[in-house]
Every structure is written in C-alpha cells, then in structure tokens.
Amino acid sequence: MKHFEVQLSGLSIPCAARFPETERYFREFAPKAELCANSAPLLCPEQAEIPEEDWNSALEFGMLDCAHTEYTVLTAYFSDILLRYHRVILHGVALKYQEKAYLICADSGVGKSTQARYLQELRPGAFEVICGDRPILRFNDRNEQIIVHPSPWNGKENWGSACTAPLAAVILLERGAENRIAPLQIRDAVVPMYTHFIHTGWEPENIQRVAELESKMLSAVPLWKLSSHDVPNSTMMMLESLFP
C-alpha cells in the first residue's frame, strides 16, 4: 500500500492506496510543508481507503484495475470522512463570479462543462472555475455560510484553481424541449439535489448527515432549474437571469 496525505478544505486526510501511481492524482493537494504550527491544518484520524470487497465490486462493474479507477472511486470514501467535519463532496461544476460561487449540477453527459465553457466565452474574464467536477462544500454553522472549495477531482477537462468562495446559488441543469430557466422550490429540489451529494451510502450516520447538509443548503441559497434545448442560447438565458 502507498500511504500519503491529502489536504481538502483545510483538513489533512491520510490515504492508503493500492497503486503507488494513485498519489500523483493528489499531488497538488499535498499538505504544504511551509505551514507553521499555529496554522497547520487539522489532521483527521480517519484514513481514506477502499475496502477489498468494494474494490472487487468496482471491477465487477466494469471499471479497470488501475490507479485512475482508484482515484475516482476514492471520492466517496474521502467524502464519508469529510461529512464528519461538516463538509461534503458534490457532483457539479463550481464557478466563481464576482467573489461568489455558483454550482451547475446535472447527471454526467447532460452538459455542465459545456454551459461553463460558454459562460466563459460569452463573458471573457468574468468567471473562474473553482472545480470542474466534484467541488467540496464546507458548512459554517456560525454564520450559515457555505464555502466552495476545489478538489483533486476536476473532471476530464481538468478545470480547477486554488480559489474558494461563498456559495450564492445552485443551478440544476436538464435537457429540455425548449430553453427555460426558473426558480426551483425547495420541495421540488430535495430529491434531484440529493443525488448529487457524493458518499458511499454504507453508514446510516452519513446518510443522515447528507440530508442535514442538503437541508441547510436548500434553505441558505436560491435554486434554479435550467432546461437546455440548445447552447449557447440556453447559456445566454442563464447569463441574463443570474449574472447581470
């Protein structure tokens, strides 16, 4: 096993990987040695590791027996640990606009990255990608802010940065017969939004934690539903509605 640490949203989490090459996917998130003792990140006692039976299940599902598969599957095990510290990994593109973070969430292949790319093209220099596929949300109970952090899981485009920002809104993206954007009521967002929170689902405590964090998020920021028939027309509609 290869042992190393990964720094995620201020936490240093130990990891045990079966492939030595897996470490390279986390290289940019290695704890910084120059941090002084007073500002050193919290070291979690828990260790991220894929149990043998779960690894075999991934292979039976058709995933390759390689470091990239391990890097991908580890997402849920890191998120399980983060959940104990009021953090969670979410499937979506995180963008920074005017010092605020915006999430575009959708199933794989629906067009999250395409929407993000056109936003940047339609308004050059206005948007910065925080994380291209699986950002981390950190919940602060003191001021009810949700801070969006980057993660090593940047998607096939490898979009990411070192910046963070408070969450301002969430856009749930779907394909539709026409381009349309509208506010989404909480009752209509609960089920589709829950599916974008990443965790293994093995521990009942974590299922409850995800539900609690989702409830906080739905109460804290507005949600929008974007039906996209064609881009960049649907992107322009989103731009005019949310980013005047």
63 vs 141, higher pLDDT: 63
CA of 129: how far to CAs of 48, 95, 109, 115, 189, in Å? 26, 5, 18, 12, 24
Q: For 72-123, what is each residue's pLDDT tens digit?
A: 999 999 999 999 999 999 999 999 999 999 999 999 999 999 999 999 999 9
Average pLDDT over residues 56-80: 97
Sequence length of the chain is 244
Q: For 185-237, what is each residue's pLDDT tens digit?
A: 999 999 999 999 999 999 999 999 999 999 999 999 999 999 999 999 999 99
Residue 3 burial (C-beta neighbours within 10 Å; 0-12, 13-18, 19+):
exposed
DSSP per-residue codes, 77-138: HHHHHHHTTTEEEESSEEEEETTEEEEEE--TTSSHHHHHHHHHHHSTTTEEEEESS--EEE
pLDDT of residue 127: 98
Distance separating alpha carbons of residues 1 and 173, to the nearest angstrom: 40
pLDDT of residue 82: 97
| Partners of residue 13 on adjacent β-strands | 6
pLDDT of residue 32: 77
Distance separating alpha carbons of residues 185 and 182, to the nearest angstrom: 10
* pLDDT exceeds 90 at position 38: no
Q: For 130-181, what is each residue's pLDDT tens digit?
A: 999 999 999 987 767 999 999 999 999 999 999 999 999 999 999 999 999 9
Average pLDDT over residues 35-64: 84
* pLDDT exceeds 60 at position 36: no
Domain boundaries, the chain: 2-83, 88-242
* pLDDT exceeds 60 at position 35: no
Average pLDDT over residues 43-57: 95
pLDDT of residue 39: 52
| Partners of residue 12 on adjacent β-strands | 7, 43
pLDDT of residue 141: 74
Is-contact 184 225, C-beta < 8 A?
Answer: yes
Full-prediction pTM beyond 0.85? yes
Query: For the chain, what is the mean pLDDT?
Result: 94
Distance separating alpha carbons of residues 53 and 75, to the nearest angstrom: 17
Q: Which uninterrupted H or E stretch holds 75?
A: helix 67-83
Task: Give the SS3 label for residue 7.
Answer: strand
Distance separating alpha carbons of residues 40 and 12, to the nearest angstrom: 9
* pLDDT exceeds 90 at position 42: no
DSSP structural state of residue 33: T
What is the CATH architecture of 88-242?
Alpha-Beta Complex (3.90)
